[in-house]
Amino acid sequence: DLSSETRFHGPPLLLTHGIVSGVSVVIRLGDELFGVLGAHTARRRSFSMQDATFLRSVANMLATVIQRRRAETALRESEERFRHLLRSIRDMVWSSTLDGSQVLFVNEAVERIFGVSPEEFRRNPRRWYGLVHPDDRALVEAGVKHLLTTGTGEVEYRIVMKGGEIRWLYNRAAVIRDENGMPARLGGVVS
């Protein structure tokens, strides 16, 4: 009852609207405070503990939604910065399944380096191996075997482009582990 409450005073907005009774709870999640949620009435009313508990439940849901929305926004912004970074570097960044049967990610530099669009590279993940100079295929296979055995690897090899041009490439790669420490995929950089 705002007219008899001595611990605090109602804000002018409530008073100008003739509010006389209310209940308020803090919207918080852990130590993070988001605001206050209140229910008010212009008629004298005694709010019960059950009313306050219900309001607290709604405030908890609001805090969860606010926190999730903030996390989603932060993730979206982080992903956009990451995509911008990957578009701006000259090296090819890639990720694939452990057996190499699927390209999970490849940036646009694949086109400059291999002469193949990212879409084509994803559709035909073994295509790069067909570009490896025949004299370097055993070296590349040994590098892949070393990568899968030790968890990291690097190999320098040649590829033969469509017009016969030969390019030297340097590929650094690693086994990427999941949250349980188990090998999940491969990832690397080609320059």
pLDDT value for 167: 96
pLDDT, average across residues 40-51? 92
pTM above 0.95, yes or no: no
160: enclosing H helix or E strand:
strand 152-160
Read off the tokens for 118: 């990212």
Residue 94, Cβ density class (10 Å: 0-12 exposed, 13-18 middle, ≥19 buried): buried
Per the CB < 8 A criterion, the answer to whether 33 and 27 are in contact is: yes
Q: Give CA–CA dist 168/157, Å, rounded.
A: 6
Q: Give tens-digit pLDDT for 112-147.
A: 999 989 999 999 988 889 999 999 999 999 999 999
